[in-house]
Structure 1
Amino acid sequence: MKADTPLREIAQSVQSFVEGKKAQKIKLLILGQNTNDGWLAKIVIYYLLSIVAFLYLQPFFYMVTTMLKSLGDLLDPTVQWIPRTLDWSNLERAFKGLKYPEAVLNTSTIALFGSLIQVLICGMTGYALARLKFPGKKLIFGLVFLTFLIPPQIIIIPLYVIFSKLGWLNTPFVFLVPALFGQGLKSALFIIIFRQFFNSLPKALEEAAMIDGASVFRLFFRIIFPLSLPACLVVFLFSFVWYWNEFYMTSFFLSTDFTPLSLRLGSLETVIFGPNPVPEAQMNNPVTEGTKMAGAFLIVFPPLLLYMIAQRWFVEGIERTGLID
């Protein structure tokens, strides 16, 4: 019995050691060595991200499911998310009511050319404010920043008077010409983005080009501008989406003839279902809800497709331009 006692103690100590190791390993798996390494932290993070994703995606899912519902599904309160049958007539009515090809052409003309102009002009302005030395540089940057703070509602009436006298109303010039002078939609923000990006580039590139006899314009277009493709992509996508979705200024300047998608959505119900106004208590009329959701989907689909294609380069550009740390 006495000989067995040390062996039993040794076995118990080994067993307790093994159990302690297992407990420590389980603890590391659950809690992790750092705060965000363990399963518990990951479950909490994924749970919070799922909630945020649901909040952002719920309107989109509602839009898609509503536009695919038949009139019977829209009138049936038991049908919430998944329609019993897929009905494509809402998309057909919205396509015809928006005059979609013509409206897409009008909107694309403003969004595409306006974005390309802003990439070029804001890039040149941002480079000048970042690298060149000239009198009044800080004052000009302050004025650029001031235009970013001034809301468009303050200057909408003077702009309307100016564009009316120039004969530019109901033409794309009301957006394209200001963009040529660095005063397009959110141009001040894009100038700041380019300035931040150019400040991060090494000056040795410019010094070497200057030694070789390159002018400022040749230096910018041959060396600096090709290196700023991440910033150009960020500015282009932001500008394209803002021009595409712009409603406030287009409602003043493009009220007839050259109307983009954002304006035609507001009159879609009248175009399809007649000029009789819908009473305020019936704004969520199930008879027209599917068509309105189909029209909204047709409007958001092109920029959504563009973002899906350029998503990877867009995220890389956001990181390199210093918009996030």
Structure 2
Amino acid sequence: MVGRTLLDRVRLMLFGDRERKGMIALLILYLVLADIAFMYLTPFLYMLSTMFKTTADLLDPTVKWIPSAFQSDNLKLAWQGLRFPEALQNSLIIAGLSAVGQVVFCSIAGYAFARLKFPGKNILFALLVFSFLIPPQTLIIPLYVLFKNLGLLGTHWGVILPAMLGHGIRGALFVIIFRQFFMTLPRELEDAALIDGAGPFRVYWRVMIPLAKPAILVVFLFSFVWHWNETFVTGMMLGGKDLPLSLSLFNLNKVLSGLYPDAEAGFDLNETIRMAASFLIIMPPLLVYMLAQRWFVEGVERTGLVE
């Protein structure tokens, strides 16, 4: 009897039960999480290591992760090559205004699909889902011709205006996120507001939006990061003017060669400066995510993205 009780305790400790996981399950879980963390952190740690190396360290096979001498000038050169203050301002304008525009107009569309009744609602939503599957490369020529006729090429509005109209990068996905979130809210809240004489827009503004903070945060962060990193549509619309950080990286060598024409070593193959520039580019959205991480995870859970 004692041996059987001891055996049950060992089995419970190793395999667990419905209420808690056993040591084997926890070990497997931690191994999977450590593996995923390793895959994501290794490129970032490589970037941090390389940005402080010298060109000699790159050519030395004995230097792996720790530089023989920390070269802080790489950050200075990357700052100059990116024209960081101007490029950062352009990135903030494009990503920030696009994210705000998509939050406003995609939430309106999501509320309409979730709560309102109008002719062709299901057909329009099916077309919305279908538009999410269309690659942006197939639409770039009509968009280019349209904005050329509107005189918006070479300006930020060529990228911001579609987002302001609820389109932009992944606009259909954001409408779906808001629709799914609004569908989870109790119908009684809306009915009470309608009984008090509120119209659809007032219900949306006074009742739905205050409750939709998790969805708003998720959509804003997704939109901000995607517009921050986007290069294809932005490059076509801007045409080399007022470039954000994501596009300034392509001109890094050209700018540095113009600033230092008498440099002994060229900048074309200098990976250390490229890594320093990449670090400067990813730091702003990384800081934004770090500050909003707790609310972002809560928002993902409440909007149904994990289902």
Could you state the TM-score of these two structures normalised by the residue count of structure 2?
0.92
Residues 111-142 of structure 1 show CA distances to partners (whole Å, capped at 9, x for unaligned) of 00110010000000000111111111112212
Once residues 199 and 9 of structure 2 are traced to their aligned partners in structure 1, the CA distance between those partners, rounded to angstroms, is 64
Identify the residue that residue 181 of structure 1 maps to in structure 2: 165
Identify the residue that residue 263 of structure 2 maps to in structure 1: none
Residues 181-239 of structure 1 show CA distances to partners (whole Å, capped at 9, x for unaligned) of 22211110000000000111111011101111112211111111110000000000000
Q: Does 1:311 align with 2:283?
A: no
Backbone CA RMSD of aligned residues: 2.1
Once residues 189 and 9 of structure 2 are traced to their aligned partners in structure 1, the CA distance between those partners, rounded to angstroms, is 52
Once residues 273 and 123 of structure 2 are traced to their aligned partners in structure 1, the CA distance between those partners, rounded to angstroms, is 51
Q: Does 1:60 align with 2:33?
A: no
Choose 92-101 or 79-88, whichever is displaced more. 79-88
Instruction: Give secondary structure in 2 for the equivalent of 1:267.
Output: helix
Once residues 3 and 234 of structure 2 are traced to their aligned partners in structure 1, the CA distance between those partners, rounded to angstroms, is 71
Identify the residue that residue 270 of structure 1 maps to in structure 2: 254
Q: Does 1:324 align with 2:306?
A: yes
Residues 75-132 of structure 1 show CA distances to partners (whole Å, capped at 9, x for unaligned) of 2211111223322111110000000000000011010011001000000000011111
Identify the residue that residue 175 of structure 2 maps to in structure 1: 191
Identify the residue that residue 153 of structure 1 maps to in structure 2: 137
Q: Is the 8 A contact 2:159 2:233 kept in 1?
A: no
Q: CA deviation at 1:246?
A: 0.4
In structure 1, what residue type is equivalent to 2:47? M
Instruction: Give secondary structure in 1 for the equivalent of 2:198.
Output: coil
In structure 1, what residue type is equivalent to 2:156? P
Once residues 69 and 207 of structure 2 are traced to their aligned partners in structure 1, the CA distance between those partners, rounded to angstroms, is 57
Based on CA coordinates, which of the two structures has the bigger radius of gyration?
Answer: 1
| TM alignment of 1:21-32, pairs within 5 A | 21-32=5-16
| TM alignment of 1:4-153, pairs within 5 A | 18=2, 21-33=5-17, 37-153=21-137
Residues 288-311 of structure 1 show CA distances to partners (whole Å, capped at 9, x for unaligned) of 000000111111111111111101
In structure 2, what residue type is equivalent to 1:295? A
In structure 2, what residue type is equivalent to 1:291? I
In structure 2, what residue type is equivalent to 1:158? P
1:19/1:186 CA distance change after superposition, 3 Å: same
Unaligned residue ranges in structure 1 (runs of 5+): 1-16, 276-282
Could you state the TM-score of these two structures normalised by the residue count of structure 1?
0.87
In structure 2, what residue type is equivalent to 1:314? F
| Percent identity of equivalent pairs | 50
The ranges of structure 1 where at least 4 consecutive aligned residues each deviate by more than 6 angstroms after the TM superposition are none
For these two proteins, the number of residue pairs brought into alignment is 301
In structure 2, what residue type is equivalent to 1:123? S
Instruction: Give secondary structure in 1 for the equivalent of 2:70.
Output: coil
Unaligned residue ranges in structure 2 (runs of 5+): 260-266
Give 1:212's match in structure 2, choosing from 183, 189, 196: 196
Q: Is the 8 A contact 1:170 1:259 kept in 2?
A: no
In structure 1, what residue type is equivalent to 2:281? I
Give 1:223's match in structure 2, choosing from 207, 211, 216: 207
